[in-house]
Amino acid sequence: MASSGWYVVSVILFIQLFLARVRGARSYYPLSSGSYNHAKQPLQTFRPYNIAHRGSNGEIPEETVAAYLRAIEEGADFIETDILSSKDGVLICFHDVILDLTTDVGNYTKFANRKRTYEVQGQNITGYFVVDFTLEELKSLRVKQRYPFRDQQYNWKFSIITFEEFISVGLEAERTVGIYPEIKNPVFINQHVKWANGKRFEDIFVETLKKYGYKGSYMSRDWLKQPLFIQSFAPTSLIYISKLTDSPKILLIDDVTMPTQDTNQSYWEITSDSYLQFIRNYVVGIGPWKDTIVPAVNNYLTTPTDLVARAHAHNLQVHPYTYRNENLFLHFDFHQDPYAEYTYWIHKIGVDGLFTDFMGSLHMVPGMDLSSEGCKECGCFIKDNFWHDLSI
């Protein structure tokens, strides 16, 4: 009798553990708020997505916890990041393959001998490469604001974070905030970092997402609870993971002169109708550089291309990058007014999402706030959706 009692108890325990894994998969990283999935303000899906490009990096050094928290505070729908890998195979949030431009790596004598030259996407790059540093070493560095004309007061205060820490920031938010991670430089990463069991960068990437319960196709119930877009410039990576996860994917498209890093295809090929038709089997949208959609000459917009129309015809969303408030990034049509740019892209071009460094400003564009009366909790001033008198 005692043995069967033990048996029952152990089965019950086993079931509980199993359920815990399925339910929240949070047993590894227990965090303060328990049932984060319930009673949260849902993600808005009736207007273009406000995608916080690298977090609120207009104000705070990019891809740090502080930048992501600030982005959520300012009204972002999604927080975006670039995933690379450390030497010991831990996925981290970092944009450049080298540490030189946004960290203090050059100040450490112990790292002085780590400088290397590697070929990345056909170009020789010299610097301190992320893939040559263990996670512990990366964590010892301090991050700074990339652009000198932005606020420097947070330099050296924050560290690089891991993919899992980024996910936690998204899940811990008081309202539903989506994540938008990029499989960044996968060709380069897979060359330099090896994982056990023959797994690749893309495998670890998807496993991490699944560990935190990210699943479900676009607009499914699962997806709406934990919204996610997986982005990459490398089509084969997206195709590869399509068997591993049904989460929606976005094909990023670089400037017209840049071929894809994995398939060496030109811009013209991957934006052709036949390619869009093909890639539609794997992705729900494209993320082009905005100056390829509407090219600029002498800092003035020229006639828009038909890329958005054709993408939409193939049922592909369009999320261009990157919108910035500073006048040096604004074409003269917008008269140095970032709101004029946002309004043009949302109402004239009709994009479905925008990668921006200034999600606070985008959030306050008429029609982009959380309610038609204006957003009381973040105090934005737009109280009206009256935008049609914009003379662009």
**Positions in the binding site for other proteins (CB under 8 A):** 58-59, 149-151, 153, 298-300, 325-328, 332, 335-340, 358, 360-361, 364, 366, 381-384, 386-387, 389-391
* Residue whose CB is less far from other proteins, 54 or 249: 54
Nearer to other proteins, 41 or 336 (CB): 336
Encode burial over 153-170: b for 16+ CB neighbours within 10 A, e otherwise: ebeeebbbbbbbbbbbbb
- Taking the least distance from each CB to other proteins, the nearer of 100 and 326 is 326
249 strand-pairing partners: 230
Gap between the Cα atoms of 361 and 382, Å rounded: 11
Min CB(337)–other proteins separation in Å: 5
Name, in order, each residue with C-beta under 8 angstroms of 324's C-beta and a sequence gap of 6 or more: 58, 330, 338, 356, 357, 358
Q: Kindly tell me which of 197 and 391 has the beta carbon lying closer to other proteins.
A: 391
**CA 337 centroid distance within chain:** 25
150, 50 in Cβ contact below 8 A?
no
Strand pairing class (78-85; 115-120) = unpaired
Q: How far is the CB of 360 from other proteins (least distance, A)?
A: 6
Q: How far is the CB of 383 from other proteins (least distance, A)?
A: 6
Shortest Å distance, C-beta 342 to other proteins: 11
Minimum CB separation of residue 50 from other proteins in Å reads 14
Q: Which residue's CB is nearer to other proteins, number 253 or number 380? A: 380
Kindly compute the dihedral angle of the four CA atoms of residues 233, 236, 238, 243, in this order, to the nearest 10 degrees.
180
Distance in Å, CB of 361 to other proteins, minimum: 5
Q: Residue 120 CB, nearest distance to other proteins (Å)?
A: 31
Give the nearest distance from C-beta 382 to other proteins in angstroms.
6
CA distance readout (Å), 305 to 72, 271, 276, 282: 33, 11, 15, 24
Nearer to other proteins, 207 or 384 (CB): 384
CB of 350 to other proteins, least distance (A): 20
Please say whether the beta carbons of 349 and 294 come within 8 A: yes
What distance in Å separates the CA atoms of residue 52 and residue 339, rounded to the nearest whole number? Answer: 16
Q: Which long-range contacts (CB under 8 A, 24 or more apart) does 63-66 make?
A: 63/93, 63/94, 63/95, 63/143, 63/160, 63/161, 63/166, 64/143, 64/158, 64/159, 64/160, 64/161, 65/158, 65/161, 65/165, 65/169, 66/154, 66/157, 66/158
What is the β-pairing status of strands 161-162 and 91-93?
A: antiparallel
- Counts for the chain of helices (H) and strands (E), in that order: 14, 14
Q: CB-wise, 273 or 384, nearer to other proteins?
A: 384
Which of 2/328 has CB closer to other proteins?
328
| Nearer CB in complex with other proteins: 176/343 | 343
Distance CA(143)–CA(55), nearest Å, equals 14
